[in-house]
């Protein structure tokens, strides 16, 4: 495997600059002031909302969306107990950089392994998450020797903030979809001196990473994801021979999509309608993120919301959905060696449809625990799956 140059190459157009995260106290004071003046949304009384009947994936008490009680509890902690400076210090334990690619500022962590022959690996986070999604994996991935693993499974990790997300800052041009992002990742890895590397992604990252394998087949040794978003095309022939279990599962996926995808529909069609509320209300930003992050611990939810708030990237992150929805997507399947790690409480595709879209699936593992944010609720399983997948490609 290739190793990075002793220092990233720098030219007038390709400079890679170190970054230290240092938020001015005035911004934190403004956030705290807004949290003290929050005006709460109204909602129906709980006894009218919760009738004791579980409806699909919806949590009782959440039938109409994120409850006021949940937001109030987290806002109180955000205001009176949460310590951004602690998280800022933790983030700064890792080397941060920025560079401009295709007119867009790109922020990334570049954590080199102590093992010189480590495999370069680029990780892509999801929405409404951030680089914080993968912080707990950096140690086990880069230094397996210190985490009970085989040093042969070490990785040099590159962890970017998606364009328009977090410390990459807002996007200022149209077209930042999965394809343009994948092209930026290919350039980033070239700029860092990596000739061969792997890619892993979750959520949005599960869209971007296969495209990176598509556009850089000579560089990407394999693509590992936690979802393969493959659905029926509408051709009746695709349903021939499906088992009753598969048909029931398709019904579940349809129900899940109908009940849980309102955020995606809005962001695909009119993200600016939401942007004003996200830019003006930290409680609103928190609630919008929490609709998908509420199963995670409070510290993660608040750190993530703080990053979106401080960088004012709620609007540009939402625009990613619009740009991707309005993009032209290739119809031919991907061919890079592909591995899926699917977790119990997450979307799992039917193999028939996944094979239609990805012609070189060489690893497919389904786990009995973990959820959509497996890097946070099943990190041991995810790290093991990544290691085994790339070990098989060496």
User: Phi-psi category of 370—alpha, beta or left, where left has phi over 0 and alpha has psi -120 to 50?
Assistant: left
Nearest-angstrom CA–CA distance, 126 and 131: 9
Helices 204-215, 178-191: inter-axial angle, 10-degree rounding: 60
Compute how many other C-beta atoms are within 10 angstroms of the C-beta atom of residue 221.
20
For Cα atoms 286, 207, 137, give the angle at the middle one, nearest 5 degrees. Answer: 65
End-to-end CA distance of the chain: 8
Supply 14's token pair. 């390709």
Nearest-angstrom CA–CA distance, 381 and 369: 9
For Cα atoms 253, 256, 258, give the angle at the middle one, nearest 5 degrees. Answer: 110
Instruction: Give catalytic residues, as residue numbers.
Output: 203, 321, 372
150 neighbors 314 (Cβ within 8 angstroms): no
Nearest-angstrom CA–CA distance, 268 and 243: 33
Distances (CA, A) of 181 to 46, 186, 204, 231: 43, 9, 11, 23
Distances (CA, A) of 291 to 81, 109, 129, 313: 22, 27, 12, 17
Residue with tokens 């109409």: 64
């Amino acid at each position: 495997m290739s190793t990075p140059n002793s220092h990233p190459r720098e030219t007038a157009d390709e400079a890679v600059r170190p970054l230290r995260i240092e938020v001015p106290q005035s911004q934190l004071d403004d956030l705290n002031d807004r949290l003290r003046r929050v005006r709460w949304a109204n909602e129906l009384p709980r006894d009218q909302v919760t009738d004791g009947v579980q409806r699909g994936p919806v949590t009782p008490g959440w039938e109409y969306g994120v409850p006021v009680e949940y937001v109030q509890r987290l806002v109180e902690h955000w205001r009176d107990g949460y310590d951004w400076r602690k998280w800022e210090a933790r983030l700064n334990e890792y080397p941060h950089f920025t560079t401009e690619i295709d007119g867009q500022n790109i922020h990334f962590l570049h954590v080199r392994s102590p093992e010189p022959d480590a495999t370069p690996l680029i990780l892509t986070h999801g929405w409404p998450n951030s680089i914080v999604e993968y912080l707990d994996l950096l140690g086990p991935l880069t230094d397996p020797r210190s985490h009970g693993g085989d040093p042969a499974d070490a990785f040099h990790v590159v962890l970017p903030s998606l364009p328009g997300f977090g410390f990459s800052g807002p996007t200022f041009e149209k077209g930042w979809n999965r394809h343009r992002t994948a092209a930026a990742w290919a350039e980033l890895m070239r700029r860092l001196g990596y000739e061969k590397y792997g890619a892993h992604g979750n959520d949005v990252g599960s869209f971007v990473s296969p495209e990176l394998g598509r556009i850089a087949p000579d560089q990407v040794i394999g693509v590992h994801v936690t979802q393969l978003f493959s659905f029926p095309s509408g051709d009746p022939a695709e349903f021939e021979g499906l088992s009753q279990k598969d048909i029931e599962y398709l019904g579940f996926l349809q129900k899940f999509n109908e009940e849980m995808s309102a955020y995606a529909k809005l962001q695909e069609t009119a993200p600016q309608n939401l942007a004003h509320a996200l830019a003006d209300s930290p409680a609103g930003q928190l609630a919008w993120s929490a609709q998908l992050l509420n199963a995670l611990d409070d510290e993660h939810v608040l750190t993530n919301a703080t990053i979106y708030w401080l960088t004012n990237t709620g609007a540009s992150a939402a625009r990613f959905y619009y740009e991707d929805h309005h993009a032209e997507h290739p119809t031919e399947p991907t061919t890079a060696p592909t591995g899926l790690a699917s977790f119990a409480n997450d979307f799992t595709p039917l193999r028939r449809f996944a094979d239609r879209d990805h012609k070189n699936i060489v690893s497919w593992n389904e786990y009995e625990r973990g959820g959509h944010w497996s890097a946070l609720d099943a990190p041991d399983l995810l790290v093991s799956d990544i290691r085994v997948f790339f070990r098989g490609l060496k």
